[in-house]
Amino acid sequence: MTDADFEAEAIGADLPVLVEFTADWCPPCRQMGPVLKALAFEEGDRLKVVQLDVDSNP
């Protein structure tokens, strides 16, 4: 997700949205990646999980 589509993807979503604000240099963010991907797979019909890179989208 980017700043350009944040409103449509997050604010305008039909489901609740979990946004992970992440960066390549952030070790905890990298650790959470697989956990959030698994959550998105398991709960995809009830929850939308997206990532927003804070370096690319300040």
Give the number of other CB atoms < 10 A from CB of residue 22. Answer: 19
Q: Is 25 left (phi over 0), alpha (psi -120 to 50) or beta?
A: alpha
Judge whether 28 counts as a catalytic residue: no
Judge whether 26 counts as a catalytic residue: yes
Q: Distance between CA atoms of 33 and 37, rounded to whole angstroms?
A: 6
- Which residue in the list 10, 26, 32, 39 is annotated as catalytic? 26
- Which residue in the list 10, 17, 18, 29 is annotated as catalytic? 29
Q: Which residues belong to the active site?
A: 26, 29
